Amino acid sequence: MHKNGVSVTVILADNQFECTQDGLASYGIQLNIASASENVPDIERCIWTVKERVRSIYNVLPFKKMPLRILTEMVYTAVYWLNMFPVVDGILKTLSPRAIVTGLLSDFNLHFKLEFGSYEQTHEDHNNSMAPRTKGATLLRPTGNSQGGYYF
């Protein structure tokens, strides 16, 4: 399968993805399934890296307890930022994984303005009354769209 000049020929996976083998074979992609008792080292290293990033976000926030939704968003945030920068030993040295897969480039002025957990005022639907037009919210992560939106 080809996308943005990159050709996928082999996918390393755990046995839970064996059901996709025939579908991938029709695209000329070989699925290399790890046996039940072994792990795929590249995947395990990626999981370890994501856990370390989540731990670092968690430990700089001033909260003792957090809702599950916030913890889930920390994982999304860690993966989002890992995919925003080129990988040193990646397939393309100048493009990030996000750019390779989606074709979208990062814009510093749009995607890098705010950090996870910051308190912001968000615009709310309003009428011409004296009711507040903004609402306090905790920033979760950029949406990654071309307008530079964020999830709160």
pLDDT tens digits, 1-58: 566 666 788 888 887 888 888 888 888 888 888 877 777 777 788 889 999 999 998 9
* 32 and 45 fall within a common domain: no
Helices 68-82 & 41-60 angle (0-180, nearest 10): 120
No. of helices (H) and no. of strands (E), the chain = 5, 8
* 57 and 105 fall within a common domain: yes
* 33 and 84 fall within a common domain: no
* Total number of domains in the chain: 2
pLDDT at 55: 93
Q: Are 64 and 38 in contact (CB under 8 A)?
A: no
* 10 and 56 fall within a common domain: no
* 6 and 58 fall within a common domain: no
* 32 and 102 fall within a common domain: no
Host domain of residue 91 = 39-151
pLDDT digits (tens, 9 = 90+) for 116-131: 877 778 887 778 888 7
Q: Which residues of 136-152 are buried (b: 16+ CB within 10 A; e: fewer)?
A: eeebbbbebeeeeebeb
From 74, 139, 58, select the one nearest 82 (Cα to Cα). Answer: 74
